[in-house]
Amino acid sequence: MNFFDSCRGDQMTRYTNADFNDDDSVNSVQLTEGISTSATHIRYHTGSTMWKQRSPLEKILLLLIGMLFFVIFVLAVILHIAEHRLLDNKINELKTQNEQPCLNQSCIHIANNLLLAMDSTVDPCDDFYAYACNGWVKANPAPDGKPQWGTFSKLGQQNQLVIKHGLEQPIKNFKSKAQQKAKLYYESCLDVNDTVEKLGAQPLLDELKVIGGWNISDKNFNISKWSLQQIIQTVQNRYNIGGLFSYAVGEDDKNSSRYIIQIDQSGLTLPTRDSYLNKTAEHQKVLDAYLEYMTKVGVLLGGEENITKQQMKEVIEFETELANITTPSDMRRDESTFYHNMTIQELNTKAGFIDWRKFFEDAMKIVNKKVSSKEPIVVYAVEYLSNLTLLIDKYQKTPQGKNTLNNYMVWQFVRFFTVYLSKNFRDAYKILRTAMTGPDSGDEAQWRFCVEDTTNQLGFPVGSIFVREVFHQESKIHAEEMINNVRNAFKNNFINLEWMDEETRNLAIAKADAISDMIGYPEFINDFNQLDKRYENLSVRNDTYFKNNINILVHNLKKNLEKIKESVNKTTWSMSPSTVNAYYTPTKNQMVFPAGILQNPFYDPDFPDSLNYGGMGVVMGHELTHGFDDQGRQFDKNGNLNHWWNNKTIDKFKERTKCVIDQYHNYKINGRNINGNQTLGENIADNGGLKASYHAYLEIMKHKSEPKKLPGLNLNHKQLFFLAFAQVWCSTTTKETYSLLIEKDSHSPAQLRVIGALSNLKEFSDEFKCKVGSKMNPKNKCEVW
C-alpha cells in the first residue's frame, strides 16, 4: 500500500475547434413591382459628409467624449493587468513562504543539533547510521569510565545533574523521610565522614564471620564443621545474594493473578558462559584478569598470595563446570518449555543437594509465613538443578572439594560487597573491567557513581525528587495520546498480515487493547505518607555505607517475600522514574515509560511531530511489539502463558521470525557475527515499533498541514522521522565491549538496530529513493508485524 500523497500533474483541458462561418457581405434587397424601366436609387451618407455637417462646438464635444472613452479604456486595461499581477504576486509570496524554512529560535536549535550529528558526505542509501550519526560520534568522545557511550547515557548524565542538585539540598528541605534516607545514603557513598577509607576491609571481615568463615582470611577455619545447607541459607536468605541458583517471588506465568516462588539457574561471576568455555585468546585474557582480581581481593582480606591464587584457580574451575551445565540464553526463549510447576517435595526428589523445604522455611521466617512440602513453586531450570546435584555430590566427597564449594560461596558473597569498601578494593576490580570492556581514560566522578548507586538502591525516593524538577503533566497527556496513536496504527496493520488467521487476529487486537501503560512515575511517590511507609523499616546513616547496603538487601528481600500467597498488583513499577529506558512485562501485559526518557532527544514539546514520533514514538512501538515477539506472544491479554494462537499461524509466524534470525545473524561487528536467536525478541520489537510509529505519524498528519522544513536540512518531515529514529542510537563502543555485548546482550549493537529495521521498511527506501539492491534497500526484506 502506498502511503504517499499522489503527485498530480497539471491536467490539460482540450477543446475541439468549432468552425464559425463569418459572412461579411451585405445582403442586397431588390424591390420590384412588375416591370419598370425606372430604378429607385438609395443614397448612403459617408462619414466625411456627416462630420462636415457638424458645428465646431459639436466637433469639440465629440472629440472630448472620444478621448474620455479612450482614457477609461486604457485605465480599465491597466487596472486589469495590475489586478492579475497583484494576484500572481500574492500566490508567489504564499508559495515562497511555504518553501521558506522555519526560522524561529526553536527550529534553529533543533536543526543545529540534527546537523551536528549528521554526516552528509555519506549516502543515506548506503549506510543510514553513518549518515545520521558520524558527526555525533566525532563530537562525543566517551567520558572517563564509559566504555560505551550514546544518547541514552548522555541523557542519563543530564538526569544525574538534576538528582545531584536535589540530593545536595539541606536535609531540612526534605518533607519526606524516604527522601531524607536517600540523601543520607548518597552522603555515605560520597564518604563525607571519611569512614569508608578508615574502616578498610573490616566491615567485610566482620560479615565473613557471620556466614561461617573463610579459610583464606581466617586461619582457624575448620572445613569439618562446614555445612553447604547452612552457607547457602545464610548467603541467600540473610543477604539476598545468589549463588548456585537464584530464587524470587514473582507472578505465576500461567496464573498471573497470583505470586509464586520461582527458581532458576545462576552462579557465574563472568557475564557469559562463553567466557569460561570458549578457549580463545580473548577469553583467556579475561580469565587471567579474573584470577588476578580474585587474588588481589583475597590478599586484601588477609590471604597469602600464592595460597589464595591456587584456591581461586579451583573456584574458576568449579565455575567452568557450572558454565558447562548452564543452558545458553539463546536456547531459553520458549517460555512454555522451561516452565515447570511442582511442589517443594518434588524438587527435593529432582535436585536433592539441599533440603528445599528447610531452605524455604528459613526464608519465610523473615516474614512470619510458613511453607509445606506441598508448596507450589515454578522451576525454570530442572535439568540444570539435576546436573548441579551430581556436580555438588562429586565435590562433597572430599575435604578439598568441600573447601572449593565453600570458597565459591564465600567468593560470591565477597565480590558483591567489594564495591562498598575502600578504594584499594575498588581499584582491584579495574583489572577485570579493563579486560572485559577495554581500557578507559579513568574513573568517572565519584558524585556520578554515587548518584547512580543511590538511584539503584532507593529509586522511588530519588524519583520523587527528580519528577518534581523536570516532569510536567502536559508531557504525560501528550505521551498518552502518542501511545494510543501508535497502538491504533499497530492494530490497523493486522488486516494486512495475511499469515494470521481471523480468530488469532481478533485475539491479538484484544491483547493490544488490553496492554496498560504507565507513564512518568507511579502515583504513590508524590504521596509522602505512602512513600515513607514503603521505607519505614529501613535504617540508613550517612557514615555507614557498607551497613546501609546490607540493610537495603535485607529490606528488598523482605518486601519480595511478603508477596507470597498475595494477589498480584499489576500497577507496580520495576524501574526508577529517572531511568532513561522503558520496558514491557508480559505477565502484567503492561508497558512502562519513565519520566527519565520522556525528554530530548526522545521527546520534546517543542519538537515537530516527525521528531517526537521518530524518537519516543518508536520507543513506544518497540515496547508494544514486545507483547507480540517470539516470547511475548506466548502470553494472552491477561498476562497468562497460554496457547492462544492457531497452530498454522504459529508455524507461519516462525517462518517469518526465521527470516529475522538469519538477517541479523549475517551482520558482523569487528569480524564477529551477531547471534540472531539471542537478539530475536529485540529485533522483532525494533522492526515492529518503527513501522507502527511511522504509520501513526502518517495518520496524524492527514489532519494537519505539512510543517515548514527545518533550516539547513534539505529533508521533508517524513525523512526527518527516520533521521530522528537513527540519531537516538548514535553511540561509541570499545572493541572489547562489542565482544561482550555480542555474547551477552539480547539487543543488537546500536548501528545494526538502525540499519536492520530501516532496511526492512519499504517506506524508508521510497522516501529516500534508495534503489532496490542498495545496502539500505535489499531486495529481500523481513517482516513480522
Radius of gyration (Cα) for the chain, nearest Å? Answer: 38
Measured distance CA(604)–CA(611) in Å, rounded: 9
Q: Quote the pLDDT of residue 54.
A: 63
DSSP state of 774: B
Residues with Cβ within 8 Å of residue 507, at least 6 apart in sequence:
636, 637, 644, 645
Q: Quote the pLDDT of residue 507.
A: 96
CA angle 426, 432, 437 (to 5 degrees): 110
Q: In what order do the strands lie in the sheet with 255-265?
A: 245-252, 255-265, 376-379, 340-343
Active-site residue, selected from the candidate residues 252, 253, 636, 686: 686
**Model pTM score:** 0.84
Q: Quote the pLDDT of residue 146.
A: 86
Q: Quote the pLDDT of residue 387.
A: 97
What are the 10-residue block averages of pLDDT along the chain, 785 residues in total? 37 34 34 31 36 64 74 73 61 52 80 91 96 94 86 94 95 94 97 93 95 90 92 95 94 95 96 92 94 97 95 97 95 93 96 96 93 94 97 95 96 95 93 88 84 96 93 88 96 94 96 96 95 96 96 96 91 94 96 95 92 96 97 96 95 96 95 94 97 97 88 92 96 91 94 97 96 95 96
- Residue 148's Cα: distance from chain center in Å? 16
Closest CA to 113 of 607, 580, 605: 607
Going from the C-alpha of 634 to that of each of 330, 487, 505, 629, the distances in angstroms are: 17, 19, 14, 9
581 and 622 in contact (C-beta within 8 Å)? Answer: no
Q: Has 623 been annotated as catalytic? A: yes
Going from the C-alpha of 270 to that of each of 276, 385, 438, 641, 749, the distances in angstroms are: 8, 20, 15, 31, 20
C-alpha grid cell, residue 625: 511489539
Q: Has 19 been annotated as catalytic? A: no
183 and 201 in contact (C-beta within 8 Å)? Answer: no
C-alpha grid cell, residue 331: 536456547
Residues with Cβ within 8 Å of residue 302, at least 6 apart in sequence:
201, 205, 216, 217, 218
Q: Quote the pLDDT of residue 296.
A: 97
Measured distance CA(716)–CA(354) in Å, rounded: 65
SS3 content of the chain, % helix, strand, coil (to 5): 60, 5, 35
**Within a 10 A sphere around the Cβ of 469, how many other Cβ atoms?**
13
**Where are the extended beta strands (E) located within 300-349?**
340-343
**Within a 10 A sphere around the Cβ of 756, how many other Cβ atoms?**
23
Q: Quote the pLDDT of residue 8.
A: 35
Active-site residue, selected from the candidate residues 253, 453, 623, 745: 623
698 and 3 in contact (C-beta within 8 Å)? Answer: yes
C-alpha grid cell, residue 377: 513453586
Q: Quote the pLDDT of residue 220.
A: 86
